[in-house]
Chains A and B, each alone.
Chain A
Amino acid sequence: DADVTQTPRNRITKTGKRIMLECSQTKGHDRMYWYRQDPGLGLRLIYYSFDVKDINKGEISDGYSVSRQAQAKFSLSLESAIPNQTALYFCATSDSRGLPYNEQFFGPGTRLTVL
């Protein structure tokens, strides 16, 4: 979905480096999420934010941190990257208004390789 953008799209880094992945959205949604995708495991939730002042850990938050700089921006940081954090990372948004369980809209993904 072009309304959800992620930068960078690809990144190769070395063990121990600090990495930041950024997500921006123009959909006006209040909720934002970070997932990682690994083959055969589907998507696993890292962190989520229901509004600027509300940030919560997901299923696999260890080794990651996030910042919600504005309603439209949600960044994911790897403080000290390790090889098993090599994965495809997705940002997603959803709208809490209207129907109780609206679907999510995903960015194009960031492919991260940690050597």
Chain B
Amino acid sequence: AQSVAQPEDQVNVAEGNPLTVKCTYSVSGNPYLFWYVQYPNRGLQFLLKYITGDNLVKGSYGFEAEFNKSQTSFHLKKPSALVSDSALYFCAVRALDNYGQNFVFGPGTRLSVLP
């Protein structure tokens, strides 16, 4: 079965410092990996995805993520955090499972950027 783990419920970082939000996955076959962000009282917004090719993927709002096949990880990063980055972040994998080619989401990581 496919699964996504986000080992940290909460990540705190000071404004201006680099941030990392971790994600590891387990799938059969090629992984297609996604990051979404959820701001308060809003739906999820797409940030970036890895389908194939370059292991470093750049996305919206200055975020990037690095795909590491050997470690089955897809960590989200940003060189300099902003207070406005504070939100709930979800990693997701697109997988073949009993429910078709659908997304499996991690439990989410709450990022707090402190001024």
Spell out B's residues near A (CB within 8 Å). Answer: 4, 9, 32, 34, 36, 41-46, 49, 51, 90, 94, 99-103, 105-108
Contacts and interface: CB of A to CB of B under 8 A. Distances in A.
A41 B107 contact: yes
B43 A108 contact: yes
Contacts of B90: 42-43
Interface of A: 1, 4, 33, 35, 40-45, 48, 50, 56-59, 90, 92, 99-101, 103-109
B54 to A, nearest CB: 15
B9 to A, nearest CB: 7
A43 B105 contact: yes
Nearest to A50: B100
Binding site of B, secondary structure by majority: helix, strand, loop or mixed? strand
B23 to A, nearest CB: 11
A103 B49 contact: yes
Given A99-B51, A109-B43, A58 B99 contact: yes
B109 to A, nearest CB: 10
A33 B101 CA distance: 12
Contacts of B101: 101
Contact of B99 (A43, A45, A106): A45
A89 B9 CA distance: 21
